[in-house]
Amino acid sequence: MAIAELHLRPDAPPAPLALANTALFLDLDGTLAPIAARPQDVTPDPRRTGILETLLGALGGRLAVVSGRTLADVDRILEGRIPAVAAVHGLVRRDASGEVDQAIPHPALPRALSDLRRFAAAHPGLLVEDKQVSATLHYRGAPDQAAAARAEAERIATATGLTLQAGDMVWELRTPGATKGDSVAAFLAHPPFAGAKPVFVGDDLTDEDGFKAAQALGGFGVLVGPARTTAARLRLDSVDAALAWLEAAR
């Protein structure tokens, strides 16, 4: 079977990624690193850092990490090796030259954080994260509170006008603004990404905007994890499979 045909079969393992004229956009948690119980439990990994450094050089700088994490947290985990990063789902973006563009935090964020912290204090196992331009409620430590966490996040979103975004056992109240898909388009508008074919690799619902943007701009998405309804054209089973696929890129 030809490589081109493999790229039309979401049930087949992807052929090795061809790096020529490719711009690579990578989610972090669930894609490059296993999901951890707490965000701070994800730490640097020599293999992951080495793969990314090799790809960055082979792609001539056309690699960006597009994550829900803060910029500081992405740099912590990736040891500051990746210049181009879209953080907090695109609300903060650092281009390949190091220039940072950040959304102005919504004025209702302090209220949202206060409400979330009060809610979490009454429900052991919940974790609240302040990302400056968003407020996040993690319920991985208390999965039995999923319905209550959703109801509280929806209530706050309705009361404040913040954008409610679902993730992997998380609800996020975001300053309205850029998405991961918008970040892909913004990177592709400037060197070294301009003119390249985008490939977006991600695992959860927040990555669907990235998959759709890559497809619309002449590339494709790659889902990491179990099969589900998705805009991605290809799928890899796990973080380990994703890292192995990236290692095999030529």
Catalytic (active-site) positions: 27
Q: How many CB atoms lie within 10 A of CB 95?
A: 20
Structure-block tokens of residue 211: 């998959």
Q: Give me the amino acid identity at 212.
A: K
CA proximity to 182, closest of 170, 171, 198, 164: 198
Beta-strand ranges (E) seen in 80-224 are: 84-87, 92-94, 100-102, 127-130, 134-138, 163-167, 170-174, 197-202, 220-224
**CB of 220 closer than 8 Å to CB of 199:** yes
What Cα–Cα distance (Å) separates residue 224 from each residue in 83, 187, 205, 237?
23, 22, 11, 6
In angstroms, the CA 121 to CA 199 distance is 41
Q: H or E element: which one contains 223?
A: strand 220-224
In sequence order, the 6+-apart residues with CB closer than 8 A to the CB of 56 are 63, 81, 82
Whole-number CA gyration radius for the chain: 18
In angstroms, the CA 25 to CA 101 distance is 18
Q: How many CB atoms lie within 10 A of CB 247?
A: 13
